[in-house]
């Protein structure tokens, strides 16, 4: 059994107007960060998972994202996986 740390980024789907991102973008522009565009604001979730291998770990975490951690109607999720030693905290 291997242990992994999953780093999950959740953002609103591209088809949905991210009002919070737009507001921050305007704030950046009005403070002269005019080269910054396309601000998207999301959530970050970190967790550990044990599985036989990385593929299985990815499958478990992806399933969890689709079922609870993200709402696929409005959110996209991206998972980055990293193997950790037993007992290491995320």
Partner 1 sequence: MKFGIVVFPGSNCDHDAWYATSHSAGAQAQMLWHKDTIIPSDIDCVILPGGFSYGDYLRCGAIARVSPIMSAVRKHAEQGRFVLGICNGFQILTESGLLPGVLLRNVSLSFICKDIHLRTEQILSPFTSSFDQGQILRVPIAHGEGNYFADEQTIHILEQEQRIAFRYCDANGNATIEANPNGSINNIAGILNDKGNVLGMMPHPERCCDPLLGNSDGLGVFTSLMQTVGLY
Write out the residues near partner 1 by the rule CB under 8 A: 12, 16-17, 19-20, 23, 68-69, 71, 73-74
- Nearest approach, Cβ of residue 3 and partner 1 (Å): 24
Cβ proximity to partner 1: between 79 and 84 the closer is 79
Least distance (Å) between residue 48 CB and partner 1: 18
| DSSP string covering the chain | -EEEEEEEEEEE-TTS--HHHHHHHHHHHHTT-TT------EEEEEEEEEESSHHHHHHHHHHHIIIIIS-TTTEEEEEEEEEE-TT---
Nearer to partner 1, 20 or 59 (CB): 20
């Amino acid at each position: 059994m291997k242990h992994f740390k999953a780093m999950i980024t959740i953002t609103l789907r591209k088809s949905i107007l991210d009002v919070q991102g737009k507001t921050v973008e305007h704030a950046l522009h009005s403070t002269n960060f005019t080269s910054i565009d396309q601000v998207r604001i999301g959530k970050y979730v970190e967790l550990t998972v044990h599985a036989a291998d990385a593929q299985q770990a990815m499958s478990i975490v992806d399933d969890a994202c689709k079922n609870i951690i993200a709402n696929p109607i409005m959110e996209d999720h991206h998972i980055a996986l990293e193997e950790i030693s037993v007992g290491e905290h995320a």
